[in-house]
Amino acid sequence: MSIEIRNVGKRYGDYAALDRIDLDIPEGELVALLGPSGCGKTTLLRIIAGLEQPDSGTVAIHGEDKTAEHVRNRGIGFVFQHYALFRHMTVFENVAFGLRARPRRRRPDPAAIRSKVTQLLDLVQLGWLADRYPDQLSGGQRQRIALARALAVEPRVLLLDEPFGALDANVRKDLRRWLRDLHRNLDVTSVFVTHDQEEAMEVANRVVVMNKGRIEQAGSPSEVYDRPATPFVSRFIGNVNIFRGRARGNDIDLGHWQLPVRPPGGPEPVSAFVRPHDIQLTRSPEPGLPAVEVEHMLPLGALVRLEVRMPQQAGDNPIHVEIPRRDYDALEIDKGGPLFLRVLQGRVFPAAGTA
């Protein structure tokens, strides 16, 4: 089921949690609402679910206006960060709860409920835990049971609020892959909230980056990473170096260095955003390449993260560089000697608003 959000606003006193949000979520997509705390992503999710009402605007599901409709009539499955399982019920009873709570005329018979719950527990690979209680499960197992419970009522839309936020790093990674594969098999329109960039980029088909109640950019993970639309997206998605200067022809004049990143227009002040992996280090003293010194090195498996600085950069922030381990070994950085820095590409924005 598709979701269409039009001009949705929500205020709490003087604070604008959502500021005229417009968003289309096509049927079958897995969409991440990504942003810092307080950006409005959870408020938007709760408005889609019907748990909160907007002050303005509409929410339509598959073309039907659901703005004023009660949450129980929207066909929404909701998975909370802290599971919200019933501690006095077994795993089987938790998953069956939504089916048994239906009005009598819509309630399946006991045999159908048992078949459905067994199928769902097999789907989340936890059928062997049907007779246990939530307190006897790990965090990852409880979250999968919460998801099975949400799916039991065959929701038209599945909403997940920081579904892996309460889990440790290794469990989160396993569940990300599991959720991505599960969504591919179920093909249910799904929206999940996260502040974890890696989680959004790994799991979602589409990422919606939010800030201060507004949408900064919506697109595929590669689009928001490689072609950020605003300075905020450049800073928030991944690591970035920021160089401030003035546009001069095809370069940016930093005073001590002509940065070879094409500016968008005239000689106004600009900021260039350069990813650490878009910087190379070389031993060759080519024209235009500044000399740098390595201040810190952090090996990360196949990748090496470096902090380098130009001699004339005293007092400025170091430049962050990420290079493959094989390139690091070939440069023999541990032996010392001159190194030179080459910028491959970057994104340039007017300096105003990029502080």
Show pLDDT as tens, one digit a residue, over the chain (355 residues). 699 999 999 999 999 999 999 999 999 899 999 999 999 999 999 999 999 999 999 999 988 999 999 888 888 888 877 767 889 999 999 999 988 888 888 888 999 999 989 988 888 888 899 999 999 998 888 888 888 888 888 888 889 888 777 667 777 777 788 788 878 877 789 999 998 898 899 989 999 999 999 999 999 999 999 999 999 999 999 899 999 888 887 888 888 888 888 776 666 888 999 999 999 999 998 888 999 999 999 999 999 999 999 887 655 789 999 999 999 999 998 878 889 999 999 999 987 755 5
What pTM was estimated for this model as a whole?
0.85
Task: Tell me how many degrees the CA angle 10-12-16 measures, rounded to the nearest 5.
Answer: 55
Map residue 123 onto helix, strand or coil: helix
Question: Do residues 92 and 131 make contact, with C-beta atoms less than 8 angstroms apart?
Answer: yes
Radius of gyration of the chain (CA): 25
- Going along the chain from its start, the domains and CATH numbers come out as 3-235 (3.40.50.300), 243-350 (2.40.50.100)
Question: Do residues 90 and 129 make contact, with C-beta atoms less than 8 angstroms apart?
Answer: no
pLDDT score for 79: 82
> DSSP for 214-268?
EEEEEE-HHHHHHS-SSHHHHHHSS--EEEEEEEETTEEE-SS-EE----SSSSS
| Encoded tokens for 101 | 């709570």
* CA dist., res. 127 & res. 118, Å (int): 7
CA 285 to chain centre: 40
pLDDT score for 106: 84
